[in-house]
Amino acid sequence: MQKIETLHRVLANFLGLLIVVLMFVIVIDVGGRFLFNVPLKGGVEISQLLLAWILFLPLAYALFRGAHVQVTIILRRLPKRFRFITVILIEILSLIFCWLAAYAGWTRFWESFTAGETMAAPIWIPLWLAKLAVPFGFSLISIQFCINIAIHFIGSSGDAD
């Protein structure tokens, strides 16, 4: 469990770095455009690339921290046994959805990578780099769902309900 938390912290720190880089790109692009009438070449496309990673990278971390939106008003009222079954069912369905999204994302990424697809920008930016964010993020959250499911089963093995 400690290794998983360390991985999430490393990814969260990397995410923070991406946000700082995005901030600098936007400031340089806007400042250059308004002060010198010379925007940053590819600034918009670089921002789009960074936003893809900023959007999909923290999915697993949010799940790990329990920060995803949950409707607990009904779950809290269920009997303990039924609550356990419901939570496991929700996590399995979520795992299936995320795994399918990861699989589709890997397929799209690979097609883009092998085709050498690039963004329509004044500088060379590979589009596959942005497309890689989707399967990477969904793969991480799929792994986290598997870990959560295992933790639920391990935690319930001591229950005598």
Q: Which two tokens stand for residue 8?
A: 């999430």
Q: Give the pLDDT score at 155.
A: 80
Residue 158 has pLDDT above 80, yes or no: no
Q: Give the pLDDT score at 76.
A: 84
| DSSP 8-state code for residue 41 | T
Kindly list the distances between the CA atom of residue 129 and the CA atoms of 26, 59, 135, in Å, as whole numbers in the listed order: 19, 18, 11
Contact 108, 131 (CB under 8 A): yes
CA separation for the pair 90, 109 (Å, rounded): 28
CA dihedral sign of residues 105, 106, 109, 110: negative
Q: Which residue has the higher pLDDT, 18 or 68?
A: 18
Q: Give the pLDDT score at 71.
A: 73
Contact 67, 144 (CB under 8 A): no
Q: Give the pLDDT score at 161.
A: 45
Categorize the per-residue pLDDT at 159 as very low, low, confident or very high, splitting at 50, 70 and 90. low
Each residue of 71-103: pLDDT tens digit? 778 888 889 889 899 999 999 999 999 999 999
CA separation for the pair 67, 46 (Å, rounded): 28
Q: Which two tokens stand for residue 125?
A: 């930016």
Each residue of 12-59: pLDDT tens digit? 999 999 999 999 999 999 999 999 999 999 999 999 999 999 999 999
| DSSP 8-state code for residue 6 | H
CA separation for the pair 62, 79 (Å, rounded): 27
When pLDDT is averaged across residues 99-109 and rounded to a whole number, the result is 98
Of residues 99, 160, 161, 159, the one with CA closest to residue 134: 99
CA separation for the pair 155, 63 (Å, rounded): 18
